[in-house]
Structure formats: structure tokens, C-alpha cells
Structure 1
Amino acid sequence: MVEPVAAGQERRRPALSPSRASDFKQCPLLYRFRAVDRLPETPTRAQVRGTVVHSVLERLFGLPVSERAPGQARDLLLPAWKDLLADQPELGELFDGPDDPELARWLESANALLDAYFELEDPRRLQPEACELRVETELDSGVLLRGFIDRVDVAPTGEIRLVDYKTGAAPREIGEAKALFQMKFYALVLWRTRGEVPRQLLLMYLADKQSLAYAPDEAELRRFERTLEAIWQAILRAGRTGDFRPNPSRLCDFCDHKPRCPAHGGTPPPYPGWPEPDPGPESALDRAD
């Protein structure tokens, strides 16, 4: 159910985030379940681990340069997990209490990802302009774009690099395509807000200790802008009619909403109408890979 806006609360315009745009591209009905119905989903241990690792890396860059070492990152892991648990106590249900040996193994797997990060770059040689940067811009067509960037690096000469950490085990052909879509989204927002095309988009795959660098150009971002505008117009058309059609694929086996999907014999809940004021911001778990 979409919650009504409280008296005196500012209405936020519906916006498009990279997560929700990817949802609609993958399956319009998935977009509806997440952005319109806002049906609850059960996060996986891998998703939550990704969120915690992202939090640790953000905190790491908040330390003095000399303290950005593997041992310090490991020391930040448990506090980051406890803070996330305090904010979302339901995540504790992923384990059988603090003494669950599965929790210890899960934390150690997160430590392994943090160790892998230090094999890819030395954070003592970097001074990011921002970590977990919230960005928003309105295109000339009126589409409002909104999202969060893991890290923004700006060279002394002014070149911009956008960095995204990947910790999950998604198939590379799917995961990389989705990740590049996300990074182009951020590059477009930065270009529209700062007037400069980012020099590099850097994806850091911690699980296999590999990096993927990509250099966008202005013509490509203009084409991508038209793609986002087309996606948004398709979302609005579906929103007016409630006709969010399923798009069955092998990803259905990993979808929490498969039992209620008509493509698999299920029945969606009654359409609640287009959400006001907003389909909701993407959360840290949305962005966990």
C-alpha cells in the first residue's frame, strides 16, 4: 500500500533511479511490485554483505590517510554490521543469533572482500571528493533522475572518475551490463549537473579481484539520455493503465515475487494506482549487488 502524504509534508516528484530503471527494463511487473505496490522482499545474505562492505569502504575514506589499511578495514566491519542491524533489526533473522557459526563465516567472507579491495588499489593514495554521493537532476524533457554514487574522484587537473564496488556473484554477462547501465546513469547525472563528462567509469569486482574501466563520451550519454526518457515514458503509460506486463526470464527463479506473477500461475494484488508522491528512493539494499 502506498502511504499517504502527511499534512504539511512536502510532496516529492516521482523520479527514476538506476535500480528502478533496470527493474523496468528487466520486467515491468517487477518494477510495479517494487515501486508501486512496494511489496516486501527478503534480502539475501549476499545483498546484506554487499551493503556492509560498501559501508566499511565509505568509513575507510573518512579516516586519516595513514590509517587506511587492511587491519583498519577489518576493524570497521563489525561496527558497520551492528549499525545496519540497529537500523534494520529484521536482518538479524538471517542468522540464528550472534553465536551462529554461519554469522562468523559470513563476516569472514566480507573480510575477504575487503582484503581483495586492497589488492586492487591503495586508498592511501586517494582523496575522493565524495563517497555515497546523492545526485539528482532534471532532464530537459522533465524526467527527474536520482541516485547514489559509491565514490567520486576528481584529479588535480579536474577529470572526474566515478567508482562503483561490486561484491556479488551475478553472472558476469548480466551483472556487467546492469552495472554499466547504472554507471552511465550516474555519468549522465554528473554531466548534466557539472557540465563535464566523467573521464572514467570504474567498476571494482572484489570477489574476483578485477576492475573494469569504461570511458563514456558526450554522444553516448546523449543517446543514453534518450533511452532513459523512453523508459520513463513507458513507465508513465503503464502507470496510467496498470498494465505492467511480466517478462519471464531465467532471473525469475531469483525473484521474491514469482508466486504472485501471472507468468508462473500467480495472481498480483489489485493495482493500487500510480504512487504519490513518489515511488520511493532506492535503498542501500537496492544498490547491493
Structure 2
Amino acid sequence: MDDQPPAAEPPRRPALSPSRASDFKQCPLLYRFRAVDRLPEVPTREQVRGTLVHSVLERLFSLPQAERVPGRAKELLRPVWTELSSGRPEWTDLFPGDDPGELHGWLESAERLVDAYFQLEDPRRLDPEACELHVETELGSGVLLRGYIDRLDVAPTGEIRVVDYKTGAAPRQIGEAKAMFQMKFYAVVLWRLRGVVPKQLKLMYLTDGQALAYTPDEAELVRFERTLEAIWQAILRAGRTGDFRPSPSKLCDWCSHQSRCPSFGGTPPEYPGWPEPDPGDESILDRAD
């Protein structure tokens, strides 16, 4: 019998993720740079720290409930950092080798975020259904939604809680608006997948040790679903023409692409055309923001 080469996986359809939808709402040109041109971005220490803390909390919930204590969580920090940074020189380059104190201080700041988590809840009392859960659904209009949920709690009665950890330092008002957009996105996906409107959307802000809880209703999710459909149609229109316009705001201060942005005297690269197979993926840094 002749050996046959493995069949190539069919390309995934383009999808909308919460981060990419938020990018387009914030600035269509930013969406283009990230999803179409896929330009590299130098990560910040804050972004990488967020990824590390998210990964530690994910590993924490894989431990027996009795072991989910602060000391055990902090023991995970260095091995998880070693694992995550392996093969990612752009991460390790954030900490020059001639000053090991910088990495030590950065890990201590991650420890403080982990400690703050334990001030908000006791993980020994929780039994999540999933952590870092990949979710995907297609709306009736044909729009494909895709993303990752930090944590999904399901009560014995079937009630669903979506939990998201926030470690970033974005301006609070803008940051909360973006975070709630993300949470409603997940609520729509879960509602369409399971036929149940999540009972609670919970944001846990580890920098200041505060939590924000919100209860959506079905009518609100119907309206939000229409918003997502409108965003996707606007993306497709821009994709056909290449007309992704900049939208200057306070968030430009955090943008990696000012040198290419017309609002700052730059020139975008030549438009490469609508990407295939899929511009919807979120990076590991997106998921930790």
C-alpha cells in the first residue's frame, strides 16, 4: 500500500474575535495592521506579565482544591515563566542579562497580582468547568465568532458565570468599556452554543483588587449580536477596498504603529488584500489583556 501524504487541513473561515472586534471599533487601521498586515508588535512587560499571571491561575485550577493556596500559586510563577518564555526571545529580551534584578523585580510584581487574586475569592471553594476555554459559534447571519474565555463556572443548577482576569494598566474608563464589550461577546457565544444566557459576567481587576459583576439579559444580547454583525459587515466592506481609516484617540499613546499611521505623519504599507485563511485569531497576549 502506497504511503499517502496527510491531507491538508481545510483553511478556517475568517472569524471575529473580541480583541479584533475591539480593534476595529477603536481604530479600523489598527485592525488592518494586526489582522490583515499582521505586523509584529514588540510586547511590553505589562502584557507579558498579564500572560504569566493568567497562566499561573489556569495551572492553579488544575491542582487539587486543597492545594490552591497563595504559596503554591507563587511557586508556579518561575517555572511557568521559564516555560512561556522558551522560544520567545522577544520576551526574554525585555530583561537584559546584565541586570538580573530587573527580572526579579518584575516577577515580584506578578506575585503581588497573584496575591490580589486571593483577596477576591478562595479558589479552594470553586470547581470551574473550564479555564482558557476555546469557544466558537456561527450566528444566523453567517458571522463566525471565536474566542477564549479565562474561566467558566457552571452551578449545579445550570447557571453560568463567565470570569475574566484583568492585569493591564489601560485608562480605567476606557479599559472597562473594552472589557465589558469582550464579556458580552462571550455571553453571546455561550448563549448561542448552550441556549442559556449567562447569569453573571465577572471582571476581576488584580491591580487594585476590585471585582465588577454584571448580569446581561436576552434582549441585550440580541442587540449586541446585531452590533457584532454590523462590525463584521463594516470589516468586510473595508477589506474589499482596503479603506481602513485611522481613528485617533487617547489610546494612540499605547499603539505600536504610530510610525505607519497617517495621523502621525506615517505611511501604511501597501494593502496586501483580504487575508486568508483567517484574520480572527487572538494571540496569547490578547487573551491576557
Would you call these one fold, judging by a TM-score over 0.5?
yes
CA gap of 1:178–1:266, structure 2 versus 1, over 3 A, is same
2:209 counterpart residue number: 209
| Cα deviation 1:140-192 (Å, max 9, x = unaligned) | 00000000000000111110000000011111100100000000000000000
Aligned length: 284
1:182 counterpart residue number: 182
Question: TM-score, normalising length from structure 2?
Answer: 0.96
Matched, 1:108 2:108: yes
1:48 counterpart residue number: 48
Unaligned stretches of 5+ in structure 2?
1-5
Give the Cα separation in 1 of the matches to 2:203 and 2:235: 28
After TM superposition, the runs of 4+ consecutive aligned structure 1 residues lying more than 6 A away are: none
Matched residues, percent identical?
77
Q: How does 1:105-254 map to 2 (within 5 A)?
A: 105-254=105-254
For the 8 Å contact 2:17–2:280, the answer to whether it is kept is no
Return the offset for 1:98: 8.1
Give the Cα separation in 2 of the matches to 1:222 and 1:279: 25
1:10 counterpart residue number: 10
Q: Give the secondary-structure state (helix, strand or coil) at the position aligned to 1:112.
A: helix
Q: Give the secondary-structure state (helix, strand or coil) at the position aligned to 1:141.
A: coil
Higher mean C-alpha deviation, range 94-103 or range 40-49: 94-103
Give the Cα separation in 1 of the matches to 2:8 and 2:58: 34
Q: Give the secondary-structure state (helix, strand or coil) at the position aligned to 2:86.
A: helix
2:74 counterpart residue number: 74
Give the Cα separation in 2 of the matches to 1:71 and 1:99: 26
CA gap of 1:243–1:187, structure 2 versus 1, over 3 A, is same
Return the offset for 1:283: 1.2
Letter of the structure 1 residue corresponding to residue 268 of structure 2: P
Return the offset for 1:24: 0.1
Return the offset for 1:280: 4.7
CA gap of 1:137–1:128, structure 2 versus 1, over 3 A, is same
Higher mean C-alpha deviation, range 235-244 or range 88-97: 88-97
Q: Give the secondary-structure state (helix, strand or coil) at the position aligned to 1:198.
A: coil
Letter of the structure 2 residue corresponding to residue 107 of structure 1: L
Question: TM-score, normalising length from structure 1?
Answer: 0.96
Letter of the structure 2 residue corresponding to residue 222 of structure 1: V
Q: Give the secondary-structure state (helix, strand or coil) at the position aligned to 1:94.
A: coil
Give the Cα separation in 1 of the matches to 2:74 and 2:149: 23
Letter of the structure 2 residue corresponding to residue 139 of structure 1: L
Q: Give the secondary-structure state (helix, strand or coil) at the position aligned to 1:162.
A: strand
Give the Cα separation in 2 of the matches to 1:222 and 1:168: 29
Give the Cα separation in 2 of the matches to 1:136 and 1:40: 26
Return the offset for 1:87: 4.1
